[in-house]
Amino acid sequence: MKKSIILAVAIVLIGFLGAQAQGGQGGGGGFQRRTVEERVKSVMEKLGDLKLDKDQTVKADSAFTESFRAQDKAMEELRAGGGQPDREKMRETRQKLVAERDEKLKKIFTEAQFKKWKEEIEPTTRPQRGGGGGGGNN
């Protein structure tokens, strides 16, 4: 199970970096990198099932905005060295940023809301990739 989680994170990072590399170029396969604001809006729309109050909504929006900005900055720094960024370093950085975001969300959401976020909503926020490979995702 641990290996499949690590593999899933690595795939997300690779997809993220591929999208980053294609983001500003015309004809990049039809995929354009979304802004922090677009990503936050998408996640906040998916949080509708959590029935957040106004205070929770404002705080969650802020937590996701900070997290996405930190991710963008970290990935930019990893790419700044030129060449192919170290995948292990990218994975570690991503895991650290997600853990920091989740600590903030635990303080904002109720226990039930956080559980629903982790189990049902968060998996839907990851980029979906084509291809049908194996069934061992859990």
In a domain, 135, yes or no: no
In a domain, 49, yes or no: yes
With cut-offs at 50, 70 and 90, classify the pLDDT of residue 9. Answer: low
Burial 19-46 (b: 16+ CB within 10 A, else e): beebeeeeeeeeeebeebeebbeebeee
In a domain, 15, yes or no: yes
What does the alpha-carbon distance between residue 34 and residue 36 come to, in Å, rounded to a whole number? 7
Q: How many domains does the chain have?
A: 1
Residue 43: closest CA among 116, 121, 128: 121
In a domain, 42, yes or no: yes
Q: What is the mean pLDDT of the chain?
A: 78
| pLDDT for the residue 137 | 47
State if pTM tops 0.75: no
113's tokens? 């809301």
**Mean pLDDT score, 5-34:** 53
**Mean pLDDT score, 60-83:** 87
Share of the chain above pLDDT 70, in %: 67
In a domain, 115, yes or no: yes
Q: Is the pLDDT of residue 91 over 70?
A: yes
Q: Is the pLDDT of residue 90 over 60?
A: yes
In a domain, 43, yes or no: yes
| pLDDT for the residue 85 | 72
**Mean pLDDT score, 52-81:** 91
The whole domain housing 46 covers 2-21+35-125
In a domain, 110, yes or no: yes
Residue 125: closest CA among 80, 105, 22: 105
In a domain, 41, yes or no: yes
